[in-house]
């Protein structure tokens, strides 16, 4: 594989495409095999739709000189991204963690964009395909790149770091996410810490949250820049945080009032303002950026539906994010509270224990109506007047037809596969 040649084709293109449904004129199409498809079969279609060149790994689909045959198209994409990253030589900030990655990435991008020309991961394209596509979206005009990295098993963050080669790294937290793939909480810590190992080996800098004992422990051997709440040893001292329901943060005599719900979002805000301070963005610009961010895509959105106030946090869920979302909801000074909670996926052998623990944690909250949706919760059902269990969304939605939802404050949270945002149609 001549990566120099492929990169020269890329530089002359309008960008990389892996989907003929969204192909751009004069793009470079990379045919990647999936579990249910072989994109080699779309090579001809890609050229017909305007691609300048196609990269394939099955010679049966070779067309003409516009076809580049490689041993493995996915590897070619990853190597191209790594080559392009070194070609640009721009500073890159990478972040991972169990919860809050995408929100934190968006906040960091908004803050740094006040001073620099930035580009960041679009949406949550944070895996072995998404990270390369993110790197290939950077160009000579990009001054700082921000790369989100997701993982559901060990060695994945290590692999993504080798491609992106970040100069700076931040881990949002170490929570109970993807326990099935990581083999438990200790596996999560080990897997996410692969970013720290990369930074340490290459003498790069980590941003550290001094409120997290795991990060404090890891920071002893890392070059780092830290933040903490009223901690004098922090590089950035956060004077106060509060949320009712929106997060407010104070630092350096500046008060930031965000549109983010819940104290669990405070560290995301703190990380973004800390990185802004590191890169010498002015305080007022940091404040303006963070106050202008409006969450979307079912992430901690505050909505009004009829007479109901709704906290929609249905993008994803795991035991850690579920616990902080519920804790925040319970402390809100509101009456007529309802929680609609969906199954948490990818917990493996710990699924029943985690769902049962969550249900039991709410047994004393008699003033909150709790609707549990999904097979995992259904298998943990207990008889309580304010608990309602449904095996599927269909049975849940059918049960709602006779319920009059008025003047309530409602939390909706569950894993992506539950798609609980559908509940809005019934409120």
Q: Is 326 in the same domain as 413?
A: yes
Q: Is 249 in the same domain as 377?
A: no
Structure-block tokens of residue 270: 């703190």
DSSP string, 367-398: TEEEEEESHHHHTT----TTEEEESSHHHHHH
Q: Is 320 in the same domain as 270?
A: no
Assign 310 a pLDDT band (cuts: 50, 70, 90): very high
Q: Which residues of 25-64 are buried (b: 16+ CB within 10 A; e: fewer)?
A: eebbbbbbeeeeeebbebbeebbebebbbbbbbeeebeee
* Residue that wins the pLDDT comparison between 17 and 333: 17
Q: How far apart are CA 208 and CA 218, in angstroms?
A: 9
pLDDT at 146: 98
pLDDT at 300: 75
- In tens, the pLDDT along 210-245 reads 999 999 998 899 999 999 998 889 999 999 998 877
Q: What would the mean pLDDT of 71-85 be, rounded to a whole number?
A: 97
Counting the structural domains of the chain, the total is 3
* Reported pTM: 0.83
Within 10 angstroms of residue 265's Cβ, the number of other Cβ atoms is 28
Residue 67: half-sphere exposure toward Cβ, Cα within 13 Å? 19
- In tens, the pLDDT along 379-403 reads 999 889 899 999 999 999 998 877 7
Q: Is 185 in the same domain as 319?
A: no
Q: Say yes or no to pLDDT of 176 above 70.
A: no
Assign 123 a pLDDT band (cuts: 50, 70, 90): confident
Q: Say yes or no to pLDDT of 12 above 70.
A: yes
pLDDT at 245: 79
Q: Please provide the size of the chain in residues.
A: 427
Q: What would the mean pLDDT of 402-418 be, rounded to a whole number?
A: 89
Q: Is 148 in the same domain as 278?
A: yes
Structure-block tokens of residue 169: 């790294």
- In tens, the pLDDT along 18-72 reads 998 889 999 999 999 877 888 999 999 999 999 999 999 999 999 999 999 999 9
Q: How far apart are CA 120 and CA 13, in angstroms?
A: 20
pLDDT at 153: 72
Q: How far apart are CA 227 and CA 270, in angstroms?
A: 7
- What is the domain range of residue 9? 3-70
Structure-block tokens of residue 144: 């700082």
DSSP string, 204-235: -EEEEETT-HHHHHHHTTSEEEEEEES-TTSS
pLDDT at 44: 94
Q: Is 371 in the same domain as 394?
A: yes
Write the CATH number for 45.
Answer: 3.40.1390.10
Q: How far apart are CA 352 and CA 208, in angstroms?
A: 33
On whether residue 284 sits in a domain, the answer given is: yes
Q: How far apart are CA 341 and CA 35, in angstroms?
A: 31
Assign 355 a pLDDT band (cuts: 50, 70, 90): very high
Nearest CA to 127 among 93, 164, 100, 92? 164
């Amino acid at each position: 594989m001549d990566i120099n040649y492929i990169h020269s084709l890329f530089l002359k293109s309008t960008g990389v495409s892996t989907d003929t449904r969204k192909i751009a004129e004069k793009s470079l199409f990379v045919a990647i095999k999936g579990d249910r498809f072989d994109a080699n079969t779309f090579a001809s279609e890609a050229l017909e739709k305007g691609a300048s060149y196609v990269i394939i790994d099955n010679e049966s689909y070779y067309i003409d000189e516009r076809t580049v045959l490689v041993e493995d198209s996915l590897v070619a994409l990853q190597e191209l991204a790594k080559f392009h990253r070194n070609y640009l030589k721009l500073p890159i900030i990478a972040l991972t963690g169990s919860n809050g990655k995408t929100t934190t990435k968006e906040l960091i991008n908004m803050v740094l964009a006040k001073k620099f020309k930035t580009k960041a991961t679009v949406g949550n394209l944070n895996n072995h395909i998404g990270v390369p596509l993110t790197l290939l979206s950077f160009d000579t005009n990009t001054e700082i790149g921000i790369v989100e990295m997701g993982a559901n098993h060990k060695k994945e963050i290590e692999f993504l770091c080798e491609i992106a080669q970040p100069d700076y790294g931040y881990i949002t937290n170490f929570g109970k996410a993807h326990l099935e793939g990581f083999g438990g909480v200790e596996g999560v810590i080990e897997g996410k810490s692969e970013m720290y190992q990369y930074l340490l080996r290459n003498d790069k800098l980590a941003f550290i949250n001094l409120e997290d004992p795991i990060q404090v422990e890891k920071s002893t051997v890392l070059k780092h820049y830290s933040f903490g709440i009223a901690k004098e040893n922090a590089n950035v001292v956060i004077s106060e945080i509060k949320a009712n329901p929106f997060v407010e943060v104070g630092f350096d005599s500046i008060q930031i009032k965000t549109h983010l719900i819940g104290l669990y979002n405070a560290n995301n805000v703190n990380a973004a303002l800390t990185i802004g301070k590191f890169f010498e963005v002015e305080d007022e610009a940091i404040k303006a950026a963070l106050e202008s961010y409006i969450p979307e895509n079912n992430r901690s959105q505050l909505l009004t539906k009829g007479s109901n106030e709704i906290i929609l946090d249905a993008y994803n869920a795991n035991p850690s994010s579920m616990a902080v979302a519920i804790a925040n909801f319970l402390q809100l000074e509101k009456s007529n509270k309802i929680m609609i909670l969906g199954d948490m996926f990818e917990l493996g052998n710990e699924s029943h224990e985690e769902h049962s623990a969550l249900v039991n944690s709410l047994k004393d909250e008699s003033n909150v109506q709790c609707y549990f949706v999904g097979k995992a919760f259904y298998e943990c059902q207990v008889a309580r007047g304010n608990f309602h269990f449904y095996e599927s969304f269909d049975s849940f939605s059918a049960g709602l037809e006779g319920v009059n939802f008025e003047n309530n404050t409602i939390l909706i949270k569950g894993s992506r596969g539950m798609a609980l945002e559908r509940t809005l149609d019934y409120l």
